[in-house]
Amino acid sequence: MKMELDIAVLSKKTASFLLFLTYFDSFIYMVSCVSQAEIDQHLNLGMNLLARGSYSDALTHFHAAVDADPNNYMSYYKRATVYMALSRSKPALADFDKILQLKPDFLKARQQRGALLLKMGRLDEAHIDLENVVKKEPDNADANMLYTMISTLQEKLRDAKYYADWNNHQQTIDIITELLENIPWDPSLREMRAEAYLQIGNVPHAISDIRSVTKLTLDNTAGYYKLASLHYQLGEADEALNEIRECLKLDPDHKDCHPLYKKAKKVAKFLNSAKEASQEQNWDECKDMANKVLKNEPTIENIRFHAYDRLCHCELKSGETGEARKACSEAIRINDEPRLYCDRAEAYLAEDMFTEAVKDYRTALEKDEDLQRAKEGLAKAQKLEKQASKRDYYKILGVKRTATKKDINKAYKKLAMQWHPDKFQSEEDKKVAEKKFMDIAAAKEVLTDEEMRTKYDNGEDPLDPESGHGGHGDGFPFRQGGQNFHFPGGNPFGGSGPFQFKFHFN
C-alpha cells in the first residue's frame, strides 16, 4: 500500500517536472525569437544610419547586435565597416580577426583585412591576406591592385628610412608624404615625418603629425608631452595646457608633464589677465601681468613676445612712452609684425622723435603695403616733422604731448610771468620778450582749445598763416581765460607794431 502511494506521488512530481520542461522550452523559444528579431532590427537600423553617414549612431546598433549574438559574423563585419569609416583601425582589425575566426572562408572579409593592414603599414601581413584572396579569385581587380602595390610601398619605405638616417630631411618628408596616401594609419611614418619637419624648423606641420600619432596610439603620454612642449615653444600657452591635461589624464604624476603643467598654467593665467586688463583699459594691471609673464618665463622667446607685445601697447596708453619704445623694440626683435612698428612709431611721436616715427611707419608699409594705420601714421608723422622746423608749442611751454589742460595752464602762467615785457628794461630785451611772450600765448591758445590742439597734433598749425587757417584778421584781437591781448600791428607772428597787454592771473 505504501509502495503504491510512493509511486503515485512520484508520478505527480514527474508530471509536474515534464510540464515545467514544456513551459521552459516554450519560454526559450520565445526569447530566442525575440532576440533574433531584435538583432535584425539593430542591424537594419545600423545599415540605414550608416548609409546616411550617422556613424556613431550606427555603431551603437551594431554593438547591440554583436552583444546579442556574439557568433554572428555578419554583425562583426558591419561593425568593422563603421570602424573603418571612422578611421578606427584597431577595433576594425579586431572585428576582422573575429570574423575570420568564425568563418575562415569569408574572402571579402579577408580582402578588407588585407586592405586595412596595408593602411596600417603592416605590409607583410597584408601581403599574406591579399595573396590568399588573389589565389582563390584571380579576377578580383581590387585585390590584385592592392597586392601588386605592396612591393612598391616596401621599396619607398626603405628609401624613406635611408634618407632619414642620412639627415636628408626634405627628401624624407617628400617620400613619406607619398607613402601616407596609401598608408595613412601607420604612426611610425608620421613620427618620422614629424622629426624631419622639426629639423627644418616647420613646427606647425610637426605638431599636426604628432597629433595624428596620439590618435593612432593608446596611452601616448610622450606624444602629448611633445605636443605641449611644441605649442609652448610657439608661445601658445593655452594650447599647451590642453595637451598637458590629456597627458595628465593618463598619468597624473607624469615626471615631464606635471612640471610643465604648473608653469604653463601660471603663464597662461598672466597672459589672459594682461589681455583682459588691456581690453578694460586698466593699463597698470596690464603692465603688472605682462611683467609677471617675463618673470616666470625667462627663456622661451615666443612666450616673452606676448608679454612685450602687451607692455608695448599698455605702456604707450599709460603715457610711459620711453618704456613703451623699449617693450615694442623687444617684441619686434622676436617677431617683427607691422603693427608693432606702428605702436613704436606712436611712442616716438609722443617724444617728438619724428624722423624715427617716419622710419617705423615706412617699415610697417614695406611689410604690409595695405596697412591703413601705417599710411595714416606716416602722413601725420611727416606733417609733424615738417611742423617741427617751425614752432613746437609743446616745447615752447615745456610740456609733454600727453600734458593735461591743467598742466598747460600751469606752464603758461609760469612762463608768462617770466617773459612779461614790462620786466625788461632795454629795447633789445623787450623785443626778445615780446616775441617769446607771443609764442607762449599762441601755444597756450592752441593747446587749451580741443579742436585746435587736435589739428596741431595731426600736423597742422591752426595759427600758421601759410596753412590758410591762422590769424584773426586785422588787429588780431583775442581773449583766452583772464588774459586780454590786442595786436594793432596785425599778425602777431610777423609785424612789430605797438601792442597792449592786460593780465589777470587767477
Task: Reduce the secondary structure of 239-304 to three states and give it as a string.
Answer: HHHHHHHHHHHHCCCCCCHHHHHHHHHHHHHHHHHHHHHHHCCCHHHHHHHHHHHHHHCCCCHHHH
The answer on 305 and 244 residing in a single domain is yes
Do 338 and 413 sit in the same domain of this protein? no
Q: Are residues 182 and 325 located together in one domain of the fold?
A: yes
Residue where one domain finishes, among candidates 358, 388, 418 = 388
Of residues 485 and 119, the one with the higher pLDDT is 119
479 has which bridge partners? 484
Output the pLDDT for position 7. Answer: 44
Q: How many domains does the chain have?
A: 3
In a domain, 11, yes or no: no
CB–CB of 342/371 below 8 Å? Answer: yes
Q: What is the pLDDT of residues 234-260, one digit of tens each?
A: 999 999 999 999 999 999 999 999 999
- Confidence at residue 27, expressed as pLDDT on a 0 to 100 scale: 41
Collapse the DSSP code of 484 into the 3-class scheme (helix H, G, I; strand E, B; otherwise coil) and give the result. Answer: strand
Query: What does the DSSP 8-state code read for residue 467?
Result: G
- Return the pLDDT at 252: 93
Higher pLDDT: 374 or 423? It is 374
Mean pLDDT over 434-459 rounds to: 88
Collapse the DSSP code of 369 into the 3-class scheme (helix H, G, I; strand E, B; otherwise coil) and give the result.
coil
> Which has the closest alpha carbon to 165: 196, 122, 203?
196
Instruction: Report the pLDDT value the prediction gives residue 351, as an integer from 0 to 100.
Output: 82
Q: How many CB atoms lie within 10 A of CB 331?
A: 25
pLDDT at 61 > cutoff 50? yes
Whether residue 229 has pLDDT greater than 70: yes
Neighbour count for residue 229 (Cβ, 10 Å)? 17
Mean pLDDT score across all residues of the chain? 85
CB atoms within 10 A of CB 25: 10
pLDDT tops 70 at residue 499: no
**What pLDDT does residue 495 have?**
38
Tell me, yes or no, whether 253 and 347 share the same domain: yes
Query: What's the grid cell of residue 145?
Result: 591592385
CA distances, 421 to each of 57, 69, 100, 434, 438 (Å)? 93, 111, 111, 6, 10
Identify which of 348, 352, 290 has the alpha carbon closest to the alpha carbon of residue 322. Answer: 348
pLDDT given for residue 11 in this prediction: 55
CATH value at residue 419: 1.10.287.110
Q: What is the largest CA-CA distance in the chain?
A: 163
How far apart, in whole angstroms, are the C-alpha atoms of residue 161 and residue 167? 10
Q: How many Å apart are CA 21 and CA 51, to the nearest integer?
A: 45
The pLDDT, as a whole number, for residue 373 is 95
pLDDT tens per residue across span 16-27: 544 444 444 444
Higher pLDDT pick, 434 / 99: 99
- 163, part of any domain: no
User: What pLDDT digit, counting tens, does each position of 26-45 carry?
Assistant: 444 444 444 678 888 888 88
Spatial separation of the C-alpha atoms in residues 398 and 385, rounded to whole Å:
18
Q: Given a cut of 90, is residue 222 above it in pLDDT?
A: yes
State whether 178 and 249 are in the same domain.
yes
Closest CA to 271 of 292, 250, 252, 298: 292
d(CA 403, CA 319): 10
Does 3 reside within a domain?
A: no
Give the pLDDT of residue 102: 95
Yes or no: say if 304 and 312 are a contact pair by the CB < 8 Å rule: no
How many other CB atoms are found less than 10 A from the CB of residue 98?
Answer: 20
Q: Are residues 206 and 344 in the same domain?
A: yes
Tell whether 142 and 233 lie within a shared domain: no
In Å, how far are 467, 484, 500 from 463, measured between CA atoms? 8, 17, 20
Query: What CATH code is carried by the domain that includes residue 343?
Result: 1.25.40.10
pLDDT tens per residue across span 464-497: 766 655 544 333 444 433 344 444 334 333 334 3
Domain range spanning residue 442? Answer: 393-502
pLDDT of 330 higher than 90: yes
Q: Quick check: is 17 in a domain?
A: no
pLDDT the model gives residue 12: 55
For 207, 416, 479, 501, the CA distances from 504, given in Å and listed in that order, are 73, 11, 11, 10
pLDDT bucket at 269, cuts 50 / 70 / 90: very high
Domain boundary among 106, 121, 155: 155
What pLDDT is recorded for position 14? 53
Neighbours of 227 (CB within 10 A): 25
b/e per residue 440-468 (b: at least 16 CB within 10 A): bbbbbbbbbeeebbebbbebbbbbbeeee
Q: Which residues are CB-contacts of 148 (< 8 A; sequence separation ≥ 6)?
A: none
Q: Are residues 398 and 384 in the same domain?
A: no
Q: Are residues 336 and 449 in the same domain?
A: no
Place of cell 537600423: 45
3: Cβ–Cβ under 8 A, 6 or more apart, which residues?
Answer: none
Question: Phi then psi for 120, rounded to 5 degrees?
Answer: -85, -5
Would residue 450 count as lying in a domain? Answer: yes
**Residue that the C-alpha cell 596595408 belongs to:** 118
Is the pLDDT reported for residue 503 higher than 70? no
| 488 domain-assigned | yes
pLDDT of residue 467: 60
Q: Does the residue 346 lie in any domain?
A: yes
Q: Write the CA distances from 350 to 278, 366, 376, 430, integer angstroms.
A: 20, 23, 16, 33
Residue that terminates a domain, selected from 388, 414, 449? 388
| Helix or strand holding residue 122 (H, E) | none
β-pair partners for 486: 500
Together in a domain, 262 and 283: yes
Q: 126 and 226: one domain?
A: no
Check: CB of residue 332 under 8 Å from CB of residue 341.
yes
d(CA 122, CA 469): 83
More confident residue, 326 or 395: 326
**Domain co-membership, 420 together with 329:** no
pTM: 0.70
Q: Is residue 14 part of a domain?
A: no
Q: Which residue has the cell 519560454?
A: 27
9-to-3, 15, 18, 188, 451 alpha-carbon distances in Å: 10, 10, 14, 76, 119
